[in-house]
Amino acid sequence: MTIPGRRGWARSLVGLLLVAGLVLLVWLWARPASAPAYRVQQGPLVQTVVASALVLPAARVQVGSEITGVVAQRFVEAGDFVTENTLMARLVDDEWQARVREAQAALRQLEEAERPQAAEMVAETQSRLAQVEREVQRRRELVAARAESREALERLEQERVSAASALAQARVRLSALVEDGPEQLLAEARLDVAEAGLARTYIHSTVAGQVLEDRVEEGDLVQPGQVLFVVAAEGPHKVESYVDERYLDVLAVGQSAQVVADAFPGQPFPARVDRLAPRVDPDRGAVKLTLALVEPVPTFLRDEMTVTITVETGRAEDALWLPRDAVRHVAGNDGRVALLQGDKVVWRDVQLGLAGDHAVAIAAGLSAGDLVLVNPEFPAGERVRAAVLDTPESSQPAGDRNAVPIRF
């Protein structure tokens, strides 16, 4: 047997390498292209809307002054608790004190001097009139007996008319000054106005709660309409959020929600949708959503605390679902997917159920375990090799670890 030389071995090795390379090229050419795909999942599914929100008090009450004045004293500051009618600040009241004293003096003058004087004047004029009338009667008798001239009687008649007029005026004056008469009512009204003005120099809380803001210092000039204090009224907190208007078709009053404070992420607490605003804010393109908290309310809540809300808008106990980017040509509840049957692409119409921004339920058209291409660019009948991806899932809702959330 002839043993090949060194050159013979080299030629044989090159030949083998050429054959192997040719086989590899043929294999690569015949092998289907690889494409990412999702496997259709089955199980409980929950549809949610997630948004940022603020914790707010039952009511924010603004406290201000009804009159213009200078602050003499401030009695509370932010963080203090107040009850209804707690004195919060006092304005300089010298002018109003003087008005009250003046009105009180005028009322005393009426009661202690003017009214008795008017009554005395009535008595005097009444006595004077009676005296003149008696003298007139006596003079008439003398004139009838021709014992006195008629001119003297006429002078007395004029005096009697004057006395009667004076009596009438005295009675009118007394009627104005009697108790509960117009002069007393006017004097009391002036006193009421002065006392009301004095009372307005004392600024009280109108509700019980906690002072959130104090915006005034002693010596400040304040005016009507100016907010001096903001009070968080006692009562259950609420949570408010502005949610994109495109979610209006899935949101409804009464839906359950979970709330997580950014400062306490490990302590979620329940709530429910209490109100949906009747109008959309045109500047935000959003609708105001108000949640009522479910007892017991956490003790760590603070007014205007930032929280994240997760509102459950739909649920299916046993659903097929896919990530949303695997569904094409969505129109209402209809869509299309690129299904892999064996290694060939088949475009199939599907009916959709619950949907979110990241996942969608398949109501009809697919089965659990089917492979669906992601971002498909292959025509029907194309041979494709699936590179199966893990299905992306959002974090589970607190207290519901078995349901897959498809969040907006």
User: How crowded is the C-beta side of 219, counted as CA atoms within 13 Å?
Assistant: 0
Contact 360, 326 (CB under 8 A): no
Same domain, residue pair 66 and 121: no
Same domain, residue pair 135 and 77: no
Same domain, residue pair 83 and 134: no
Total count of domains within the chain: 3
Same domain, residue pair 162 and 303: no
* H-run or E-run covering 407: strand 404-407
Per-residue pLDDT at 205 exceeds 90: yes
Same domain, residue pair 212 and 256: no
Token pair of 43 as six digits = 């199980």
State mean pLDDT over 39-65.
90
Q: How far apart are CA 319 and CA 322, in angstroms?
A: 10
- Is 84 inside a domain boundary? yes
What are the respective helix, strand and coil percentages of the chain, to the nearest 5? 30, 40, 30
Q: Give the pLDDT confidence of 100-116 residue by residue, as tens digits.
A: 998 888 878 877 777 77
Same domain, residue pair 212 and 303: no
Of 19-23, 270-274, 343-347, where does mean pLDDT reach its minimum?
19-23
Per-residue pLDDT at 27 exceeds 60: no
Q: How far apart are CA 139 and CA 37, in angstroms?
A: 136
Contact 233, 215 (CB under 8 A): no
Last residue of a domain, one of 187, 214, 233: 233
Q: What is the pLDDT of residue 121?
A: 76
Token pair of 185 as six digits = 């009512």
Last residue of a domain, one of 172, 197, 222: 197
Other beta carbons within 10 Å of 239: 22
The DSSP line for 107-174 is: HHHIIIIIHHHHHHHHHHHHHHHHHHHHHHHHHHHHHHTTSS-HHHHHHHHHHHHHHHHHHHHHHHHH
Distance from chain centroid for Cα 251: 19
Same domain, residue pair 285 and 165: no
Sorting pLDDT into bands at 50, 70 and 90, what band is 21? low
Q: How far apart are CA 153 and CA 298, in angstroms?
A: 101
- Please state the pTM of the whole predicted model: 0.60
Same domain, residue pair 292 and 313: yes
- Is 28 inside a domain boundary? no
- Is 14 inside a domain boundary? no
Same domain, residue pair 108 and 42: no
Q: What is the pLDDT of residue 216?
A: 93
Q: What is the pLDDT of residue 377?
A: 76
DSSP class of residue 341 equals: E
Domain that holds residue 215: 60-92+201-233
Same domain, residue pair 171 and 267: no
Contact 362, 321 (CB under 8 A): yes
Q: What is the pLDDT of residue 18?
A: 66
Same domain, residue pair 210 and 68: yes
| Burial of 300 from C-beta contacts in 10 A (0-12 / 13-18 / 19+) | exposed
Q: Give the pLDDT confidence of 302-354 residue by residue, as tens digits.
A: 888 999 999 999 888 888 988 888 888 878 888 888 888 888 888 999 998 88
Q: How far apart are CA 16 and CA 4, in angstroms?
A: 16
98: helix, strand or coil: helix
The rounded percent of the chain whose pLDDT value lies above 70 is 82
Q: Give the pLDDT confidence of 136-146 residue by residue, as tens digits.
A: 777 676 666 66
- Is 189 inside a domain boundary? yes
Nearest-5° Cα angle at 136, 134 to 139? 110
State mean pLDDT over 376-388.
81
Same domain, residue pair 186 and 100: yes
Averaged confidence pLDDT in the chain: 82
CATH number of the domain within which 85 lies: 2.40.50.100
Of 48-52, 78-82, 158-162, where does mean pLDDT reach its minimum?
158-162
Helices 182-199 and 94-109: crossing angle in degrees, nearest 10, is 160
Per-residue pLDDT at 408 exceeds 70: no
